[in-house]
Structure 1
Amino acid sequence: MTVTVQVDTTRPVATLINVFTVSPDRQEELVALLARATEDTMKQQPGFLHANFHVSHDGERVINYAQWETEEHYHAMLANPEARFHMDQAAKIATDVQPRLYQVKSTHTAA
């Protein structure tokens, strides 16, 4: 399967990079939960653009790279009870969760 991620630097977006630390035996469980939450809830939230999940080879990390139209959209999602439920479930699987918002400064693609 080929996955292409387009990062739009022509307009400001809120980029979430959330690093989950997880026991290797629960990494796939966490990814499945995050993917299900994205399909069932996050995609229906105003301002949602896309989400990607990355897993470390050692099984100890899951990275959620997501973008929202604005920080306000992201913060509104955090206040949504259904979204909070999914995030609370993820926090029960992970041993540490470190969400941060970022601004994309540059992108680079192979010629």
Structure 2
Amino acid sequence: MPVSTIDATAGVTTLINQFTVAPERQQELIDVLDQATEQVMRHQPGFIAANIHAGLDGTHVANYAQWESEEAFRAMLANPECQEHMRAAAQISSFEPVLYRVASVHHR
């Protein structure tokens, strides 16, 4: 089973979605994203992994997710069950999803 690994040769599509949220709702948003990932997203064809990050400032949450391809990601977006969870996140935050390819990786 593939795991979340940052590798420039892997050929995966990476979603980095930065959410802005009121500090008192940060955990609520994390819970919404966790629930969406466990119940729906991880069962979609082409899903590899999702990692939810809580901003130390309390006003940001980032979702770093990997998909086998851009097509798999776009198919997920068209799924009504996925759209329901995205609407729930939109009710408590604003967000900016961007797709990436890994250009390079550096280690110590």
Assess same fold via TM > 0.5.
yes
Matched ranges for 1:26-65 at <5 A: 26-65=25-64
TM-score, scaled to structure 2: 0.93
Question: Percent identity, aligned pairs only?
Answer: 53
Q: What does residue 108 of structure 1 align with?
A: 106
CA distance in 2, matches of 1:5, 1:42: 15
Gaps of 5+ in 2: none
How far the C-alpha of 1:12 sits from its partner, in A, is 1.5
State how 1:1-111 maps to structure 2 within 5 Å: 5-94=4-93, 96-110=94-108
How many correspondences in the alignment?
106
TM-score, scaled to structure 1: 0.90
SS of the counterpart of 2:9?
A: coil
3-state secondary structure, aligned to 2:91: helix
For 1:38 and 1:107, the matched residues in 2 are separated by: 26
The unaligned stretches of length 5 or more in structure 1 are: none
CA RMSD of aligned residues (A): 1.3
Do 2:54 and 2:60's aligned partners in 1 also have CA atoms closer than 8 Å? yes
For residues 81 and 8 of structure 1, what CA distance do their matches in structure 2 show? 31
Counterpart amino acid of residue 98 in structure 1: E
